[in-house]
Structure 1
Amino acid sequence: MPYNTTPIRPRKEVTGQVQLPLSRVKKIIAVDPDINICSNNAAFAITVATELFIQYIAEQGHNMAKLDRKPRRNIQYKDLSAAVTYKDNLEFLDDTIPKTVPYKDIKQQAAEKRAKLTGGKSANTDQTAHETPQTNGKRQKTLSNGFGVHDVIKKSEGTEPEADDAGDGEDVQMTG
Structure 2
Amino acid sequence: MPYNTTAIPPRKEVTGQTQLPLTRVKKIVSMDTEINTCSNNAAFVITLATEMFIQYLAEQAQNEAKTERKPRRNVQYKDLANAVLHHDNLEFLEDTIPKTAPYKAVKDQAAATRAKLQGKKPEGTGAEVAEAAGQPNGKKAKTNGSAKVNGNTTGARFVVDEEDPNAQLEMEMRQRGKPDGDDEDVNMTG
**Shared fold by TM > 0.5?**
yes
CA distance in 2, matches of 1:8, 1:95: 29
Instruction: List per-residue Cα deviations over 1:122-167 (Å, max 9, x = no partner).
Output: 462778969xxxxxxxxxx7xxxxxx822399687699xxxxxxxx
Aligned to 1:13: 13
Aligned to 1:151: 143
**Counterpart code for 1:112:** A
Instruction: List per-residue Cα deviations over 1:2-48 (Å, max 9, x = no partner).
Output: 33211111112211211111111111111111111111100000000
Matches for 1:116-135 after TM superposition, within 5 Å:
116-120=116-120, 122=122, 124=128
Cα deviation, residue 109, structure 1: 0.7
Aligned to 1:89: 89
CA distance in 2, matches of 1:129, 1:20: 51
Q: Gaps (5+ residues) in structure 2?
A: 152-190
Between Structure 1 and Structure 2, the one with more helix by share is 1
Aligned to 2:68: 68
Q: Gaps (5+ residues) in structure 1?
A: 131-140, 142-147, 160-176
CA distance in 1, matches of 2:113, 2:146: 23
Aligned to 2:26: 26
Aligned to 1:59: 59
Aligned to 1:137: none
* Greater C-alpha Rg: 1
Are 2:28 and 1:36 aligned?
Answer: no
CA distance in 1, matches of 2:11, 2:150: 70
CA distance in 2, matches of 1:26, 1:102: 40
CA distance in 1, matches of 2:11, 2:4: 20
Cα deviation, residue 114, structure 1: 1.9
CA distance in 2, matches of 1:42, 1:119: 56
C-alpha distance 153-6 of structure 1, shift in aligned 2 (>3 A):
farther
